[in-house]
Structure 1
Amino acid sequence: MVVLGVTLLLAATAAVTLTRAGDRAPVPTTGDGNRTSFAAGADERPRPSAYPRTGTGDFTTAPGDSPVRGTDGPLRYYRVAVEQGTDQDVAAFAATVDEVLGDPRSWIASEELRLRRVAEADDADFTVYLATPETSERMCAEGGLSTEGYTSCRLPGQVIINLARWLEAVPDYGAPLEIYRAYVVNHEVGHELGEEHQACPAPGEPAPVMQQQTYGLDGCVANAWPYVDGSRYDGELVPGT
């Protein structure tokens, strides 16, 4: 068992180093995965069903480049990779990430940012990973973030999406799985773009995309987009998260 644990840890560490050499060293940057306990308690976590808890620790990168998304601003390059052993198709995951980031309600709506997916690590500013709960937990922990295998997270140059959340979302989210998926991509990529956590403005209002919606909506309504009705939509900053 000790040998197996060391092997998995080394594999996850190798996966984290896939980001380009110019990325900053991983330091804690709060994503959804910065809390140390579940709101509902450990005994009430969703149980694994149709997904593996752990994979190989190695990642397959989506091939090819996407068109440039956005009309103006600096061009940021991202890569997409899926952990082997997840039974998830890397092309399908990449297509969803492309669709979310290329949506006119996403971050490109600022007209101060353009995005393009690339296949080569040396060309990428950041990588969007899809990883099993155990692998994502280890990867996030490399930067000092505690996810307990439940949430996704972001480290400098690394957007790490938890497979369980990708397939099951969270209890009582109140919106289809596709909305949660768009939310979690926009939320964690938002951190990569320098955004911080925000609070629910008022009960019944849309939740800001930088609200930690994985932990609950606090009376707000699920929302996946940083731009609502053509305008940037924000809540008050939440200090220290």
Structure 2
Amino acid sequence: MTVGRIVVYVFAAALAGVTIGLLKIWPQPETTSQEQARVPVPAATISVRTVPPPSSSAPPSSSAPAPQPALVAQTAPRPGPELPPGVAVREEGEGWWRTIAGTTAQFGGGTVHTYSVEVEQGAVLPSAHEPFAATVDSALADPRGWTATGGVAFRRVDVAEPDVRIRLTATQTARATCGFELPYDTSCYIDGVIYVSAPRWFRGAESFGSDLEGYRRYLINHEMGHFLGHGHEFCPAEGAPAPVMMQQTFSVSNDELARVTARTPQGLTVPRDGRTCTANPWPHPEVTR
């Protein structure tokens, strides 16, 4: 080995030693766990499918014919039992009800049934109390209602013990009271009390479309019908007004209603006969006002 090469090797080794020494004197900062936690992580997303995705093993052909409008119309689903979109409704109330002050004269000329109008505390804003009571009164006083036959009368009370209580009820209270057998928001009548589901009161039912006031009157008359001893009915003829005791909250189609209630008997067997009625809030729609 020549002297020149020995000098180069010695110089290189010395330089490497200086570099290592410098690194020991001024070490590089390590990434802390806190700094690692600050690294942005993409947020998870949730997607809800309304139709199944196409099969990956059989991708759609670009030459496949487009669906015909007539076929789409024939297979379009009829309105079902799902709660329509609308205003937000509180999930829980306080579990006790306050009677809304106010009384009425007697509606009808038959046997008088007294009722009170009550609201679960914490379920709705106070501004909704009086409109709720006014709608209940107008539904029961209408000549197309239960008083049409002359055998039934109603009168609202606020101090005396009523024959039936009509209670606007928070979402979870209504579900817990009326039962979870059917996975839909619904109202019910139990032991002298009508529990009105707040989400249904404020958002209605698909079968009534945009007619929220019509649905509210149906709801009151349907549950009052249970108080009077009436059971459920189904659509009697294609295009006819739905009986008020039909479960129109779920559907006005016999086929759809039969599907919804198949595993939870509702006091009758609904025929799968293809008949669909029109939404109707009145026990006696044939009566003219």
Give your verdict on TM over 0.5. yes
Aligned to 1:194: 229
Aligned to 2:178: 140
Aligned to 1:217: 252
Aligned to 1:12: none
Query: What is the aligned length?
Result: 186
Note the residue ranges of structure 1 that are not aligned, 5 or more in a row: 1-38, 232-241
Change (3 A) 1:193 1:55: same
CA root-mean-square deviation: 2.2
Q: Secondary structure at the match of 1:161?
A: strand
User: Which amino acid letter does the alignment assign opposite residue 164 of structure 1?
Assistant: P
Aligned to 1:60: 98
Distance in 1 separating the partners of 2:214 and 2:187: 16
Aligned to 2:44: none
Distance in 2 separating the partners of 1:179 and 1:155: 23
User: Which amino acid letter does the alignment assign opposite residue 246 of structure 2?
Assistant: Q
Q: Secondary structure at the match of 2:249?
A: helix
- Asked if the contact 2:235–2:243 (Cα under 8 Å) also holds between the matched residues in 1, the reply is yes
- Asked if the contact 1:137–1:146 (Cα under 8 Å) also holds between the matched residues in 2, the reply is no
Change (3 A) 1:225 1:135: same
Distance in 2 separating the partners of 1:188 and 1:153: 6
- Asked if the contact 2:119–2:169 (Cα under 8 Å) also holds between the matched residues in 1, the reply is yes
Aligned ranges 1:46-57 → 2 under 5 Å: 46=84, 49-57=87-95
Is it true that 1:125 corresponds to 2:163 in the alignment? yes
Q: Secondary structure at the match of 1:129?
A: strand
Per-residue CA deviation, residues 186-208 of structure 1 (Å, 9 max, x unaligned), is: 00000000011111011211100
User: Which amino acid letter does the alignment assign opposite residue 170 of structure 1?
Assistant: A
Residue 164 of structure 1, aligned match among 172, 187, 199: 199
TM-score with structure 1 setting the length: 0.71
Note the residue ranges of structure 2 that are not aligned, 5 or more in a row: 1-78, 254-275
Q: Secondary structure at the match of 2:114?
A: strand
**Greater relative CO (CA pairs within 8 A, separation 6+):** 1
Aligned to 1:74: 111
User: Which amino acid letter does the alignment assign opposite residue 68 of structure 1?
Assistant: Q
Aligned ranges 1:3-152 → 2 under 5 Å: 46=84, 49-70=87-108, 72-85=109-122, 86-88=124-126, 89-120=128-159, 122-141=160-179, 146=181, 148=183, 150-152=185-187
> How many angstroms does 1:93 deviate by?
1.0
Distance in 1 separating the partners of 2:196 and 2:141: 18
The higher radius of gyration belongs to 2
TM-score with structure 2 setting the length: 0.60
> How many angstroms does 1:62 deviate by?
1.1
Per-residue CA deviation, residues 139-177 of structure 1 (Å, 9 max, x unaligned), is: 224xxx745460001112011110001011122433510
Is it true that 1:181 corresponds to 2:216 in the alignment? yes
- 4+ long deviations beyond 6 Å: none
> How many angstroms does 1:47 deviate by?
6.2
Aligned to 2:238: 203
Per-residue CA deviation, residues 106-156 of structure 1 (Å, 9 max, x unaligned), is: 001111111001012x52001001001101122224xxx745460001112
Per-residue CA deviation, residues 7-61 of structure 1 (Å, 9 max, x unaligned), is: xxxxxxxxxxxxxxxxxxxxxxxxxxxxxxxx969xx655674211111222121
> How many angstroms does 1:209 deviate by?
0.3
Change (3 A) 1:146 1:80: farther
Per-residue CA deviation, residues 59-89 of structure 1 (Å, 9 max, x unaligned), is: 121113211111x221110011011221153
Change (3 A) 1:205 1:148: same
